[in-house]
Structure 1
């Protein structure tokens, strides 16, 4: 069984004159990432590996999650393929993941994550919001065989804010 957890980066700031890859998180993005990471931590999943887009906002979000989950940074990798907005590059990346890894978390971007969640999951999601998490599960032994699975859970920050 393979588990793919997609986490869209936290809300980013547009107030700085920087390249898209360099945009930082807003305070709300940081707070929302902590909210969602805390819910995931309480589930005590055995996460084998974490991958992140090289974009600042995705990296910062992934660091918040890794710290909250006490994830071993030796099982963390940045991949340029995850700086993708269509979903094609992310899907190609997923198909090449080491089959010894059963549960992975990927930090990246929309529209890619909404597209993948809808293409591979069994529940329609209109939009994966910033800091949104979608957990997809596949009854497969090989990542290259992943096609259609189930949407095991969805955690959106809006559900968690008080």
Structure 2
């Protein structure tokens, strides 16, 4: 069995004149990261592998979860290929995960996150919101074989505020 946890980065700031991948979180992004990571911690009581896009807004969101979940440095990986907005590219990257890993948490970007959740899980959403977290379980041993997943949890900030 494989468990995929997808998290869209937190709300970013457009206040600064910087490249897209350099946009930081705004205060709400940090607050929502704390809110969702605290709620998720109740469901996660064992080590987890985190992969994050290198974009500042995704990395900052992932770092909040890393700290809250007490993830070891070796289990926190920045992957340049996760700076994608494309569903196929995101699924390709997920497929590169080692078969020995049973739980993978990914921090990335829309529209890829919403499209992947809708294409491999059994619930659909018009839009995964910023800092939205979705857990999907699969009856498979291979990360390249993610289909017909069971969406078991959605944590969206607006539902917890």
User: TM tier, shorter chain?
Assistant: over 0.9
Between the aligned partners of 2:47 and 2:87, the Cα distance in structure 1 is 22
Moved over 6 A (4+): none
Matched, 1:86 2:82: no
Between the aligned partners of 1:95 and 1:119, the Cα distance in structure 2 is 15
User: Which residue of structure 1 aligns with residue 73 of structure 2?
Assistant: 73
User: Which residue of structure 1 aligns with residue 113 of structure 2?
Assistant: 113
User: Which residue of structure 1 aligns with residue 128 of structure 2?
Assistant: 128
TM-superposed CA distance for 1:126, in Å, is 1.1
Report the count of equivalent residues: 161
Q: Which runs of 5+ in 2 are unaligned?
A: none
| 1:20-99 pair list within 5 angstroms | 20-99=20-99
Higher alpha-carbon deviation: 142-151 or 50-59: 142-151
TM-superposed CA distance for 1:45, in Å, is 4.0
Deviations 1:84-114 (A, max 9, x none): 1122111001111100100010000000000
Between the aligned partners of 2:98 and 2:114, the Cα distance in structure 1 is 24
Between the aligned partners of 2:95 and 2:144, the Cα distance in structure 1 is 4
Aligned-residue CA RMSD (Å)? 0.9
- The residue matched to 1:143 in structure 2 has which SS? coil
Between the aligned partners of 2:137 and 2:73, the Cα distance in structure 1 is 24
Q: TM-score, normalised by structure 1?
A: 0.97
- Contact 1:12–1:29 at 8 Å: present in 2 too? yes
User: Which residue of structure 1 aligns with residue 7 of structure 2?
Assistant: 7
Q: Which runs of 5+ in 1 are unaligned?
A: none
TM-superposed CA distance for 1:47, in Å, is 4.0
